[in-house]
Structure 1
Amino acid sequence: MERPTASDYGANYGTVNPVYGIPAPAIAAAPATSMHGPSAPPANMFDTVPGYEGTVAGGGGGYLPPPMPSVPMPVPEQAPSPPDWHIPSISEDRARQAFATYVSSKCCYSSAPVREGVITNMESFNTYRPVDAGVQPAPGPWQIAVQPPAFFQEHKQTIKVPYTSSIKNCHVCQGKGKNPCTTCAGAGNRVCTLCNGSGYRQSDERCVNCNGRGRKNCSSCSGSGSCQCDTCRGKGKLLVFINLNVKWSIEKDEFVAQDSSGLRVEKLEEVSGKELFKDAQNMVYPVRGFPDVSVAQASERFVRDHQVKNAQTSRILQQRQTIELIPITKVNYMWKGKPYVYYVYGNEFKVKAVDYPDQCCCSVM
């Protein structure tokens, strides 16, 4: 008897650079390791979302047991009409006003281009990011609709939980968008390798590599002393949300009725049998009236134990119960006046000979 279960639901906190709009599946673990700070975001970086208490921030997951079964929600008769996707754009006056404010903040900029410039064209390049935390309560982990795979197939899926997204300062660069350069330790320059910092190559000949300075601008940071933060890609912000890890698994139990033939039970795993009974539904019933009482008892035990073992930790989607007849024939024969035995078993007619009487031994030295 086997059945897939929707189990091991765990919630991870994902982070992704919001500048790229709606993310593909968010990374379930922390961002790429940086040399400038901790590899995992601190726990206080994440908001508390009702229904997800106790899950692990920054990846790793946490188990969330299913709620008690309830009556399914009715399906709406008609889908709501889509909203009017009107995307606003700024006017020329607003663009010119913003330009004037920018120029006035620069002491060396003349205001003539603002006054005399003529706007010839305006193009909108809007981008979008799903910041939805607080818009409405996030659905519980067992309320999120997930398309299951075909029955009796194992599968894993990661889903971004709706209404858990928010923008936070990058924990690696503290929201600055850059970190001290690791090549020059933030100095912006390094000792010249040709003159070893002296500024001269031979006697009084000035070093042409560093122009006699003894140091050269760092090539990694172009002399600025800092580099773009790899975690937030220089934006200083991260989109933080919860990832839900969904796992469908198969739990299988087998029972082999007592065989008095003498053939070892493990041999039966090598062959197939004839299917006598098969039942698959949301919840199967124990087999009744089977000729072998031990099989009926095993069926009743499996149904009971599976329900007790899995109902508290997962949702049972489908169960399947199968009874197979494996043919076993014990053949007794005589050879040179002595009795021997061999077995023929399975649909493949495999043979197991016990103490085969005529054997030779081959060895290589």
Structure 2
Amino acid sequence: MALIPPPPFPTHQEPQTVQSEAMKFENIDNLDKAACKEAMFDYAAESCCYESNAVKEMTITNINGLTAYHYTLETFTETRKTESKRVPHRGGRIDGPENGPSLSPWDVLCKADKTFHNEEKKMKIPHTEYVRPCNRCMGLGNIQCLGCRGSGMEDCSCRKWSNNRETDRLLGSNARDNCPSCHLRISKCGKCSGKGRASCTECEGSGNLKTYTELTVKFTNHMSDYVYQKSDLPGHLMREVTGKVVFEQDLDQVFPITSYPIPEINNNSIRIVNEHKKGFPTERIVRQRQRLHAVPVTVVHFTLRDTRSRYWIYGTERKVYAPNFPHQCCCSCDIL
């Protein structure tokens, strides 16, 4: 299978910058004490390991609302490979060079059913078909039977005869010529019905093969991301929840965010866009999409039984991360 390098990407587009005015962030979640306690109630109810009574007893002393950011870049690409294919030909129309010149693999129209989703498609390249006699059977459609080597006969496969021949061999006696059951030493070949020849498996008895060029188009969605936050919440949790989309760009080729008020987001957007620009040399970029999500994070400080601790509420789903919350003994599930 031959990999076909993609054509060069158009260079007429001029780089642009993303204006920060288009990405002004509004407060997306301002939780009060009642909402924080309700989120903890729901979290404790989902797990048998946490004490539900402890939620009632705890006292919330402070709430600190933060905002984390999850930046993602998706690059939707395609690769094209060609391979010569052969199938039995039993007649019918042939789309050969007489119908027109063969198309270049990248000139064949093929679109993804859904952008930013992995997919693979196979198709014939137009005007590449031709028919030739099968090399294996020399166009006859049949070959010498491998079971009887063309004689049409084979040794009797009767189990009794086989057992007797093995017994004679072990006893040192002369092997019996005839089967005690069918009284024959040889019988008609079961693979070719005594004809000595069998249908060619390459052309399936047709005697001809149709050869054509098959094109395989593989669509791949590459994604890279960056999480910005100032809390102690593990960053991987940001990838499991949703936030508010404060900026989205969907183009043939996106341009890095360069003027957002948070420099770390700008720097990592530039880094990731440049990595994708050079990261897929054998693939053609079809489309790119970048998004910046603002994810609400609330740090809840509480006291419980003379102990001070905290837990986190994050995402619009209001998930809870509470590694230090009191729990009861439970061997049937893991403690986060």
Band of TM-score, shorter chain: 0.5 to 0.7
Does residue 3 in structure 1 map to residue 75 in structure 2? yes
Q: Distance in 1 between matches of 2:268 and 2:76?
A: 20
- Contact 1:170 / 1:237 at 8 angstroms: preserved in 2? yes
Question: Aligned residue for 2:237?
Answer: 267
Q: Distance in 1 between matches of 2:95 and 2:101?
A: 14
Does residue 237 in structure 1 map to residue 208 in structure 2? yes
- Contact 1:330 / 1:343 at 8 angstroms: preserved in 2? yes
1:80-95 correspondence to structure 2 within 5 Å: none
1:55-134 correspondence to structure 2 within 5 Å: 128-130=92-94, 132-133=96-97
Question: Aligned residue for 1:314?
Answer: 283
Question: Aligned residue for 2:329?
Answer: 361
Give 1:324 deviation, angstroms: 0.3
* Secondary structure of the corresponding residue to residue 173 of structure 1: coil
Q: Distance in 2 between matches of 1:334 and 1:200?
A: 94
Q: Distance in 2 between matches of 1:200 and 1:220?
A: 20
Give 1:13 deviation, angstroms: 1.1
Question: Aligned residue for 2:19?
Answer: none
User: TM (normalized to structure 1)?
Assistant: 0.60
* Secondary structure of the corresponding residue to residue 253 of structure 1: strand
Q: Distance in 2 between matches of 1:343 and 1:199?
A: 88
* Secondary structure of the corresponding residue to residue 176 of structure 1: coil
Q: Decide whether aligned partners of structure 1 residues 201 and 281 sit closer, same or farther in structure 2, where only a CA change above 3 A counts.
A: closer
1:71-220 correspondence to structure 2 within 5 Å: 128-130=92-94, 132-133=96-97, 136-192=100-156, 198=177, 214-220=185-191
Matched letter for residue 18 of structure 1: H
Could you tell me which runs of 5 or more consecutive residues in structure 1 were left unpaired when the two chains were aligned: 22-127
Q: 1:296 aligns with which of 266, 278, 281?
A: 266
- Contact 2:156 / 2:179 at 8 angstroms: preserved in 1? no
Question: Aligned residue for 2:40?
Answer: none
* Secondary structure of the corresponding residue to residue 298 of structure 1: helix
Question: Aligned residue for 1:254?
Answer: 225
Q: Decide whether aligned partners of structure 1 residues 238 and 338 sit closer, same or farther in structure 2, where only a CA change above 3 A counts.
A: same
Question: Aligned residue for 2:83?
Answer: 12
Q: Distance in 2 between matches of 1:155 and 1:4?
A: 11
Provide, for residues 46-96 of structure 1, a one-character-per-residue CA deviation record: whole Å limited to 9, x for no partner. xxxxxxxxxxxxxxxxxxxxxxxxxxxxxxxxxxxxxxxxxxxxxxxxxxx
Question: Aligned residue for 1:333?
Answer: 302
Give 1:247 deviation, angstroms: 0.7
Could you tell me which runs of 5 or more consecutive residues in structure 2 were left unpaired when the two chains were aligned: 1-72, 162-175
- Contact 1:16 / 1:232 at 8 angstroms: preserved in 2? yes
Matched letter for residue 309 of structure 2: Y
Q: Distance in 1 between matches of 2:178 and 2:238?
A: 84
- Contact 1:174 / 1:236 at 8 angstroms: preserved in 2? yes
- Contact 1:188 / 1:223 at 8 angstroms: preserved in 2? yes
Alignment RMSD (CA, Å): 2.6
Q: Distance in 2 between matches of 1:285 and 1:173?
A: 60
Q: Distance in 1 between matches of 2:178 and 2:320?
A: 89
Give 1:15 deviation, angstroms: 0.5
Give 1:134 deviation, angstroms: 6.8
- Contact 1:177 / 1:229 at 8 angstroms: preserved in 2? yes
Greater relative CO, 1 or 2 (CA 8 Å, sep 6+): 2
* Secondary structure of the corresponding residue to residue 268 of structure 1: helix
Q: Distance in 1 between matches of 2:208 and 2:145?
A: 20
User: TM (normalized to structure 2)?
Assistant: 0.65
1:340-355 correspondence to structure 2 within 5 Å: 340-355=309-324
Q: Decide whether aligned partners of structure 1 residues 192 and 267 sit closer, same or farther in structure 2, where only a CA change above 3 A counts.
A: closer
Give 1:228 deviation, angstroms: 0.9
